[in-house]
Structure 1
Amino acid sequence: MHRACLSNQPTTTSVCYPGGLEFWQAYFTPEEQKILLRASLHKLDMSESIKSRKRRRAYLKSSPENALEPTDLQGIFLPDECYEFQEGHYDGVIRHYREMHLAAWPEAEFESLSSVLKRLYALCPSQNVQTHLLHLGTRGYILPHIDNIHASGTWILGVSLGNERLLHLKPVRGGPPFELILPSGSVYLQRGGVRYTYEHSIEHKPGEDHGQRLSIMIRDLPSTSL
């Protein structure tokens, strides 16, 4: 088992990483993480049912402590039962999650969001992209899978917010697996063969409390042939 060495710089030349994988361990500051998380949860919450939104309002009103400003990032998440988590994805890969494709960020509603987004999208190798929000509950995880080369482009970038998880990569043709710890505020970029020659999964870290995690996934749109 190979476990990655960590760096605040992209690791394009490090022998610790499979080819095509770049990693920024602490790209976003704690304050930037809060802005991204609040904006992402806002979009996901607005897409849920009226019943779910009423449930969240009732929870916040049930105790003065519930409405206090959180002292850490994990405190921004409400309890699992306040969200409409799905138990299984249509392809069986993702468990205990909610998700959405993001058409536009709520920049007018969140101060400083625009500047944080500029830093985020500056990491993208190209700008014709699709943004996807994936919120995993405390029991949430992603089973091993290989990206569909026909349904996506050449690269995918992921921002981790909240609970630390493990990115587990297993070569499909044999060889030692590889693990990368994804702390909150980190960013990884996968492109080329690493997406299609490794099974990917997102797992809980052994022996730790399981908190919620939200990831911002950005990928280039696949080219269309006329």
Structure 2
Amino acid sequence: MSQWQRVVPGGARWALAVVVQGCPRQSRLPGLGRALGVDHQAAAANWGVQMFPEVITGDEEAVLLAAIERPLRRKRYSGAHFDGAIRDYREIFKQEWPAEAQEILDRVRARPELAEFAFNPAVHVLDLAPAGEIWPHVDSIKHAGPVIVGLSLLTQARMDFAPHEGDEARFHFTHAVTATTSTYEGNTVERDRRISLLFRQEPSPAQLDLHD
């Protein structure tokens, strides 16, 4: 199975959902593949990776950024993560949000495609510096269950999914975000600072045992 790539555009218009039970769950997530090309839509349906457009407006992006810039500024960019998956990043876990920002987040999580999932109330805010990279890795079940939803802010980025073991994106594919400049379908993709708001489903005890 070949590697799959997708550009996540900037401007806060896109969210990315990664689902461990790709094919069965897909039948209950209508409309998530609208923005994908034909080949990529087929890959997404099979692998459990979906994107959907027009999640928030530019003004709403500004509201979210205003809520996180101050706590992010208190942290320095780290050279490398303890597990070697990322470099030049900083992160916070934020549960308390200003009312306007909380309303935006609640609306995103209440979308019909996502409403059935129970997410950790603390949003994982991941700030990747312009020269930062996320190397191929699989998120540990200890930190996130079968569903991860990410809202990408500030810039476009190329995200790569590659088979690790099995054929479902959440646990059996690695994912990575490429460096500042990359190519996608013959076009140059320029990436700047990227902030992701990550909503993670809590793993159940059975899932922890299964992937232990």
Note whether the superposition's TM-score is higher than 0.5: yes
- Residue 40 of structure 1 and its aligned partner are, at CA, apart by 2.1
Aligned residue for 1:22? 50
Question: What TM-score results when the alignment is normalised by the length of structure 1?
Answer: 0.64
Aligned residue for 2:89? 97
Counting only pairs closer than 5 Å after superposition, residues 1-226 of structure 1 correspond to structure 2 as 2-3=4-5, 9-11=31-33, 14-17=41-44, 18-45=46-73, 48=74, 84-107=76-99, 112-123=100-111, 124=114, 125-129=116-120, 130-173=122-165, 193-204=168-179, 205-206=181-182, 207-224=188-205
Distance 1:32 1:199 in 2: 31
- Which structure has the bigger radius of gyration? 1
Deviations 1:138-176 (A, max 9, x none): 11110000122243211100000012111100012499x
User: Residues 165 and 210 (structure 1 numbering): CA distance in 2 closer, same or farther, change over 3 Å?
Assistant: closer
- Residue 135 of structure 1 and its aligned partner are, at CA, apart by 0.4
Distance 1:208 1:19 in 2: 24
Q: Is the 8 A contact 1:4 1:16 kept in 2?
A: no
Deviations 1:26-59 (A, max 9, x none): 32111111111221223323xx2xxxxxxxxxxx
Q: Is the 8 A contact 1:146 1:199 kept in 2?
A: yes
Deviations 1:70-113 (A, max 9, x none): xxxxxxxxxxxxx6111111111111010011132133xxxx32
- Residue 221 of structure 1 and its aligned partner are, at CA, apart by 1.5
The 3-state SS of whatever aligns with 1:196 is helix
The 3-state SS of whatever aligns with 2:90 is strand
Q: What is the identity percentage for the equivalent residue pairs of Structure 1 and Structure 2?
A: 26
User: Residues 4 and 142 (structure 1 numbering): CA distance in 2 closer, same or farther, change over 3 Å?
Assistant: closer
Note the residue ranges of structure 2 that are not aligned, 5 or more in a row. 15-30, 183-187, 207-212
Structure 1 letter corresponding to 2:155: N
Q: Is the 8 A contact 2:7 2:157 kept in 1?
A: no
Distance 2:205 2:94 in 1: 21
Note the residue ranges of structure 1 that are not aligned, 5 or more in a row. 49-82, 176-192
RMSD between superposed Cα atoms in Å: 2.9
User: Residues 140 and 224 (structure 1 numbering): CA distance in 2 closer, same or farther, change over 3 Å?
Assistant: same
- Residue 15 of structure 1 and its aligned partner are, at CA, apart by 1.0
Structure 1 letter corresponding to 2:170: R
Give the paired residue count: 168
